[in-house]
Amino acid sequence: MAGGARPLRTRRRVVGLVVGLIVVWCASACSGGGTGVPPLPRLGPARDVYAGDFGDPDIVAAGTRFVLFGTDDPPDHVPTATSDDLQAWVHGPDAVPVLPAWADPDPGDALTWAPAAAAVGGRDLLYVSVQDTAAHRECMAVLAARTPLGPYTDARGSPLVCQVPLGGSIDPSVADDHGLHLVWKSDGNCCGLPASLWEQDLRADGLALTGQPHRLLTADRAWQGGIVENPALLRASRGWWLFYSGNRFNVAAYATGLAWCAGLAGPCREAGPGPLLAGTSTEFSPGGLDFVRDRDGRVWAAFATWNRPPRHGRFFCCRSLDLAAVISS
- pLDDT tens-digit readout, 186-221: 999 999 999 999 999 999 999 999 999 999 999 999
Whether 103 shows a pLDDT value over 50: the answer reads: yes
* pTM, to two decimals: 0.90
Residue ranges of domains in the chain: 14-328
pLDDT at 35: 62
Q: Bridge partners of 170? A: 185
Contact 243, 302 (CB under 8 A): no
The larger pLDDT score, comparing residue 49 to residue 9, is at 49
Q: What percent of the chain has pLDDT over 70?
A: 89
Please report which confidence band the pLDDT of residue 329 belongs to, taking 50, 70 and 90 as the band edges.
low
For range 291-301, the mean pLDDT: 95
In angstroms, rounded to a whole number, what is the distance separating the alpha carbons of residues 322 and 265?
30
Give the range among 27-36, 156-165, 225-234, 311-320 with minimum mean pLDDT.
Answer: 27-36
Q: What's the CATH fold of domain 14-328?
A: Tachylectin-2; Chain A (2.115.10)
For range 149-160, the mean pLDDT: 97
Whether 287 shows a pLDDT value over 70: the answer reads: yes
Whether 278 shows a pLDDT value over 80: the answer reads: yes
Q: Per-residue b/e over 259-274, b at no fewer than 16 CB within 10 Å?
A: bbbeebbbebebbbeb
pLDDT in tens, 21-70: 333 343 334 444 446 788 899 999 999 999 878 999 999 999 999 999 99
The closest of 73, 135, 81 to 108, measured between CA atoms, is 73
For range 244-261, the mean pLDDT: 97
Mean pLDDT of the chain: 89
Q: What percent of the chain has pLDDT over 90?
A: 80
Whether 223 shows a pLDDT value over 60: the answer reads: yes
For range 239-259, the mean pLDDT: 97
Distance, C-alpha 84 to centroid of its chain: 21
For range 91-116, the mean pLDDT: 96
